[in-house]
C-alpha cells in the first residue's frame, strides 16, 4: 500500500469519526460527500488511466475526482478575490513542482526520499503560503500538481520528446494526495492558531478602547458637574 492510500484511509477515518467536521464545514462540504470522494479516489486509482492522446493519459482517482472537487470549491468561493487567490496559488504551486522536477535527480535511487513525496510537500506548502483560505489551499494543492503534469505533456508534444505523461496516475496519485492534505492541514492548524491570536489581540484592544472610552466619559461627567457647581455658587 502506497503512502497515498494510507493517507486517504487515515483521512477517511477522521471523517468517519467526526474529527474533520469543522474543516469540511468551512470548505462547504459534508462528511458524507467527503467519504464518497475518498472512496472514489481509492477505487479510481485502481482503474487504468484514460488515454487522451499518444503520450498522455489521465487517472480517475488521482486527477479527475480531485479536479472535480477543486472546481466545486472554486465555484463555492465567496468572492472574486478568493477565486483569484486560488488561481494565483495554483499557478505558483504548478511552477514550483515543475521546477523541482527539473532540478531533482531523475533517478529515485539517488534520493533518500521518493521524489513524488517531495513534489507533494512542495505543492502543499506553496498552496498554503499563497492561499488565503482552506478552500484555496485545497484547490492550489491539487491543481499545482495537475498543472505541472500538463506543462510537461505540452512541452513533450512541442519538442516531440518521447515519454508517457500520466496525469494523476502511477506515483502521481501520492503527490496529489500529499499535496492536498499538507495544504489543508497547514491551513487548518496554522490558520486556526493565527485566528486565535488575532482574536485575542482584537479582544484586548476592544477592552482597552472600552476602558478609555469609559474614562473619558467619567472625566467629562466630572467636568460637567464642576461647571454646574460653579454656576450654582454664582447664582
The domain containing residue 142 runs over which residues?
3-198
**Residue 182 placed within a domain:** yes
Residue 216 has a pLDDT of 47
In a domain, 208, yes or no: no
226 falls within a domain = no
**Residue-level pLDDT at 44:** 92
pLDDT of residue 163: 77
**Residue 167, domain member (yes or no):** yes
* 20 falls within a domain: yes
Give the residue ranges of the chain where pLDDT is below 70.
Answer: 1, 106-110, 199-235
Judge whether 79 lies within some domain: yes
CA-nearest of 128, 132, 27 to 73 is: 27
Residue 60 lies in a domain: yes
pLDDT at 121: 93
Structurally, the chain folds into a number of domains equal to 1
Q: Over the chain, what HEC string results?
A: CCHHHHHHHHHHHHHHCCCCHHHHHHCCCCHHHHHHHHHHHHHHHHCCCEECCCCEEECHHHHHHHHHHHHHHHHHCCCHHHHHHHHHHHHHHHHHHHHHHHHCCCCHHHCCCCHHHHHHHHHHHHHHHHCCCHHHHHHHHHHHHHHHHHHHHHHHHHCCCCCCEEECCCCHHHHHHHHHHHHHHHHHHHHHHHHHHHHHHHHHHHHHHHHHHHHHHHHHHHHHHHHHHHHHHHC
Instruction: Please report the pLDDT score of residue 1 as a whole number.
Output: 55
Q: Is residue 204 in some structural domain?
A: no
pTM given for the model = 0.79
Amino acid at each position: 500500500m502506497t503512502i497515498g492510500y494510507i493517507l486517504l484511509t487515515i483521512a477517511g477515518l477522521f471523517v468517519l469519526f467526526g474529527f474533520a467536521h469543522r474543516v469540511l464545514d468551512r470548505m462547504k462540504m459534508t462528511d458524507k460527500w467527503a467519504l464518497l470522494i475518498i472512496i472514489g479516489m481509492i477505487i479510481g486509482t485502481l482503474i487504468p488511466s484514460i488515454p487522451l492522446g499518444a503520450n498522455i493519459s489521465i487517472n480517475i482517482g488521482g486527477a479527475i475526482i480531485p479536479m472535480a472537487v477543486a472546481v466545486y470549491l472554486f465555484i463555492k468561493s465567496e468572492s472574486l478575490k478568493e477565486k483569484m487567490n486560488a488561481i494565483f496559488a495554483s499557478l505558483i504551486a504548478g511552477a514550483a513542482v515543475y521546477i523541482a522536477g527539473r532540478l531533482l535527480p531523475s533517478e529515485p535511487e539517488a534520493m533518500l526520499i521518493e521524489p513524488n513525496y517531495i513534489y507533494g510537500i512542495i505543492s502543499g506548502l506553496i498552496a498554503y503560503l499563497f492561499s488565503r483560505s482552506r478552500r484555496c489551499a485545497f484547490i492550489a494543492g491539487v491543481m499545482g500538481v495537475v498543472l505541472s503534469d500538463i506543462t510537461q505533456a505540452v512541452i513533450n508534444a512541442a519538442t516531440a520528446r518521447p515519454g508517457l505523461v500520466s496525469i494523476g496516475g502511477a506515483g502521481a496519485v501520492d503527490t496529489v494526495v500529499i499535496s492536498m492534505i499538507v495544504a489543508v492541514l497547514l491551513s487548518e492548524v496554522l490558520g486556526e492558531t493565527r485566528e486565535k491570536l488575532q482574536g485575542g489581540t482584537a479582544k484586548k484592544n476592544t477592552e482597552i478602547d472600552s476602558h478609555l472610552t469609559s474614562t473619558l466619559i467619567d472625566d467629562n461627567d466630572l467636568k460637567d458637574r464642576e461647571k454646574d457647581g460653579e454656576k450654582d455658587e454664582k447664582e
